[in-house]
Amino acid sequence: MNNQKPLLVVASGNAAKLREIAEILTDYTVISMKQAGFTGDPEETGETFLENALIKAKTVATALNLPALADDSGLCVDALDGAPGVYSARFAGGHGDDEANNDKVLDLLKSVPEAERGAKFCSAVVLCYPNGTYISGYGETHGRILFEREGTQGFGYDPLFFNVDLQKSFGIATAQEKNGVSHRYRALMDLKGKL
Which residues are annotated as catalytic? 72
DSSP codes, the chain: ---PPPEEEES---HHHHHHHHHH-TTSEEEETTTTT---------SSHHHHHHHHHHHHHHHHTS-EEEEEEEEEEGGGTT-BGGGGGGTTSSTT-HHHHHHHHHHHTTT--GGG-EEEEEEEEEEE-TTS-EEEEEEEEEEEE-SS---S-SSTTGGGEEETTTTEETTTS-HHHHHHH-HHHHHHHHHHHH-
* Maximal CA-CA distance, the chain: 62
